[in-house]
Each structure stands twice: as structure tokens, then as C-alpha cells.
Structure 1
Amino acid sequence: MVAVSETPATGQQAAAEELIAVDSINTYYGQSHILFDLSLSIDRGEIVALVGRNGAGKTTTLRSIMGLTAPADGTITKSGDPIQGLEPYEIRKRGISWVPEERRVFGGLTVEENLRLAANTGDRDQSDEFGEIYDRFPRLDERRDQKSGTMSGGEQQMLAIARALLGPETDILLLDEPSEGLAPQIVDDVAEIIRELNEESDVTILLVEQNAEMALELADHAYVLENGRIVHDSPATELLEDREAMESYLGVK
């Protein structure tokens, strides 16, 4: 089975349960200070959009949560337990999974081989374990024996998302620029996949996306990041309807 969280959503109670809390983190690349006292929170069951211009620090925020670029100070907790300072594989075991920018599938391996690596099933014949994945992503079922490097960008993005759901149970999915480089129709398909994962599988999602309108249409809550600082924090619909803020923060008219 796809290893997603089976914690049931219970209306307002679920919405009030804080899953991830990032509190005043400062993150550096070498001597370069990238994130400045950054704080945000994500409640169970939400889609939270983190938007901003190129170079604002969005990917660094995901890398900080995932332990790939550890913050110099501040705290990050998952369900109240500190995770900063843990290795990425330990954070993955805590239920946080990451879909990186540019997909990064193993192009020389088939779809099924990519999935087997994520599920850690080796060479054993356990294709039935991927039944739920193939049901959710029928295009991957059609391509299961195809080298992933020969697939379209949209198909690779589906594979990257599917791969992230295998392995340890997934409570929260960190999605980095899932629409990047995709045709408009494929962007709509990927957006629908994100919506279905959230609504049908109770996967909480932190969505980093340059396509701000797409992200805000999907999201419950939004943060705007500018030069490594949170400059706006509101319900996503509120930001989407504020055209002055959209133009000021994101250059969207």
C-alpha cells in the first residue's frame, strides 16, 4: 500500500492540530545568510503555499525542514517533537517526504525500478504493493517498463510524487516547484493530483511554487517569502483576491 498517513480527518479538530512548526530559523549556505528568523506552521490536513520571487529562499526552507541544509539556530518540530539536527533519512522516517525541484528521477531506470528503490523491495516480485500507486497514476501503469528518462516532464513529475509516497508512512509532502517546465494542460493535471492526495489520502502538503495563482487556488493558507523573510501570512484566498498584494509581492497583475 501507499504509505500515507491513516490519521483520520475530524473537521475542526484536525484543522487545529499543528503538524509542523518552524520557529525563528536562520539558515546559511557557507557565509551567505539565506533565511532570517523564519517562522511558519502547518496544520494537519492543510495545503500550505509558500510563494515568492526567484531567490527568495523557498527551496532553502524545504531543505531546512528536510535536514538537507540544517538551520544554524531556531527550532523545527513535527507533532511537537524537535527534528532539527536529524539526518534526512531520520526525518523521512518521521513522516516527512520531499519531492525535489526538477523531479530528479533515475532516468536510466524504468518506472517500476524507480518505485522499487523508494519502497526498498529489491528484486523481489512485489508489484502488487504498487497497485494503489498505479490506480492513482494510470499513466505510470502504462509506462511501468519504460525508462523514466524517456518520459515527458509531466510523467516524470507523477513518478516523483508517486516515489515520495512509498517507504515510511507519509504525513506531510514537501513539493518543490511541481509545475516547473510543464505545459498548461499538464499543470492542471498535476494540480488535480495534489488536490486528490490532500482530500482523499489525508496527506498534508507544503507547496513551493513559482506559479503563484495555481498554488493559491489549491492552498488553504499562504506565506509569502521575500529575501529570506516572511512578509505576508494569510488564508490563501485572501491573498489571491488581493491583486495589489499579488502584484507587489509576486509581480502578478
Structure 2
Amino acid sequence: MTDRLLRIDSIDTRYGESHILFDLSLAVDRGEIVALVGRNGAGKTTTLRSIMGLTPPTNGTITKDADRLDGLDPHEIRKRGISWIPEERRVFGSLTVAENLRLAAHSGDGDQANRFEEIYAQFPRLDERRAQKAGTMSGGEQQMLAIARALLGPETDLLLLDEPSEGLAPQIVDDVAEIIRELNERGVTVLLVEQNAEMALELADRAYVLETGEIVHESTAAELLDDRETMEGYLGVK
């Protein structure tokens, strides 16, 4: 029996007069990495924004642990254990690594001292750069900082990642992928939006393909990787 953590049922989402998501449904089970892949403009980021209440759906429902999320403000959704790391990462470039983490910790509950040390143990590169300004770090290091910040707020059991490999060198992409894998092994469920389909599918358990706001394919990640016709037709991967 599956342990369903997140469920999206038949949502429609619009930006003003533009209809972006059409009757979209997907599910994420506890402990999974689920990849949501598709071409640019397919609606992947809008799906994450719909979950977080930043672009609320006009129809349909979104639930976590069977509790309704649609209709809640983003900060209330965050308190329910969902953290979103946007494509732009949004670290504070003029602040040090340590200052970025302290700001994130202020949104959490209780004593954060032990959690700081856990974060530094988990991200040794950030430990080495505690006093370095975030804006002077590489894109990969800033991505690590963004993930670390997400883990320091209210306790997270579902992480929404939007294009974590964007703009990164191949070796750094591998490092970020390993961090995502380790987080998942520690019990964090992941919904991964990624333009780099092969990277996402190598990480994921299951996958959905999004095309112009509609789910057009659902399978295990391994099955999609082997389905070269679908990979080329919908994702442009040969």
C-alpha cells in the first residue's frame, strides 16, 4: 500500500487571462523522488507555484497527507512541511553563508544550534565558506546554500526543487544530484522539476512529462529513460 504524501487532482491554473495548467493531476508518495520534466514553457514551474499557493489554481484540489493546501497562504503551506527552492535560488548575495543560514533559521522553531552543525556536516563546502559572501560563490555552491536554507526553516518533509542544475558545470551537476539523493535517503521526499531530463530521470523513482500544461506521460523514471520515442518526441532528447 502506498503512502501518499502529495496529491494534485484536476487543477487549472491561470496567469491573468492565460490558461497555463489544464486538468493536471499527479501524486508523490512518501520517500520518493518524482521528476516533472518537459520543454521550456510547459508549465513545470507553474505546477510548483500552484502547490505553494503563489499562483493558486482556479479549479481542482491539492492535498498533503490528505489535508487541503489549495486556498492557503504560502507561509501556511510552508508550515506544513513543504519547502520550495526556485530556479533563481534567491540567496542573499551581500550576506555571508553563515548570515544566510541564520536568517533561514529564524523562520523555524526552537533551538537551531544543533541544526546548524548538522547542515555544515552535510554540506562541508558551506562549512569551509561560512564567512564568505554568498554572491561571490559559484552557482553550484549557491545551489547548495539554497538547499541548506530550505532545510533550516520549519521542518521539511517535501522539497520542491525547480531546475537545480540550471547554469551549472557538469561536475557540479553531479555534486548537486548527489546532495538530492542523500537528502532523499535521509527521509526527504522530492518533487524535482528539471530541464536536464536525463539527470532528473537517473535520480527519480517515477516521472511525469508535462506538455503545454497537460500531463502526457507517466511511468517509472527507468521506463521513461528507455523510451527513446517519448524522450525525443516530448523532451527533444535523442
Same fold (TM over 0.5): yes
* Partner SS for 1:244: helix
* Partner SS for 2:180: helix
Deviation of 1:121 (Å): 7.5
Matches within 5 A, 1:199-214: 199=185, 201-214=186-199
CA distance, structure 2, for counterparts of residue 129 and residue 184 of structure 1: 30
Deviations along 1:24-57, one digit per CA (max 9) or x if unpaired, are 0000001000000000000000000000000000
The 1:126–1:20 alpha-carbon spacing in structure 2 relative to 1, beyond 3 Å, is: closer
The 1:81–1:126 alpha-carbon spacing in structure 2 relative to 1, beyond 3 Å, is: closer
Matches within 5 A, 1:40-119: 40-119=26-105
Deviation of 1:129 (Å): 3.4
Alignment counterpart, residue 25 of structure 1, candidates 8, 11, 27 = 11
Which is further off, 221-230 or 112-121? 112-121
Residue of structure 2 equivalent to 1:244: 229
* Partner SS for 1:181: coil
**Aligned-partner residue type, residue 226 of structure 2:** E
* Partner SS for 2:174: helix
Residue of structure 1 equivalent to 2:158: 172
Matches within 5 A, 1:109-148: 109-120=95-106, 127-148=113-134
Which structure 2 segments of 5+ residues have no match?
none
* Partner SS for 2:89: coil
The 1:241–1:79 alpha-carbon spacing in structure 2 relative to 1, beyond 3 Å, is: same
**Aligned-partner residue type, residue 244 of structure 1:** E
Task: Count residues in correspondence.
Answer: 236
**Aligned-partner residue type, residue 31 of structure 1:** E
Deviations along 1:169-199, one digit per CA (max 9) or x if unpaired, are 1110000000000000000000000001001
* Partner SS for 2:172: helix
Which structure 1 segments of 5+ residues have no match?
1-12
CA distance, structure 2, for counterparts of residue 43 and residue 87 of structure 1: 23
The 1:173–1:44 alpha-carbon spacing in structure 2 relative to 1, beyond 3 Å, is: same
Deviations along 1:92-114, one digit per CA (max 9) or x if unpaired, are 10000001102110111111111
Residue of structure 2 equivalent to 1:228: 213
Note if contact 2:93-2:134 (Cα within 8 Å) is conserved in structure 1: yes
The 1:39–1:107 alpha-carbon spacing in structure 2 relative to 1, beyond 3 Å, is: same
* Partner SS for 2:8: strand
RMSD: 1.4
Deviation of 1:168 (Å): 1.0
**Aligned-partner residue type, residue 33 of structure 2:** I
Deviations along 1:61-81, one digit per CA (max 9) or x if unpaired, are 000001111001100000001
CA distance, structure 2, for counterparts of residue 126 and residue 80 of structure 1: 29
Segments ≥4 residues shifted beyond 2 Å: 125-129
Residue of structure 1 equivalent to 2:24: 38
* Partner SS for 2:166: coil
TM normalised by structure 2 equals 0.97
* Partner SS for 1:68: coil
CA distance, structure 2, for counterparts of residue 230 and residue 117 of structure 1: 37
Deviation of 1:128 (Å): 4.3
TM normalised by structure 1 equals 0.91
Deviation of 1:91 (Å): 0.3
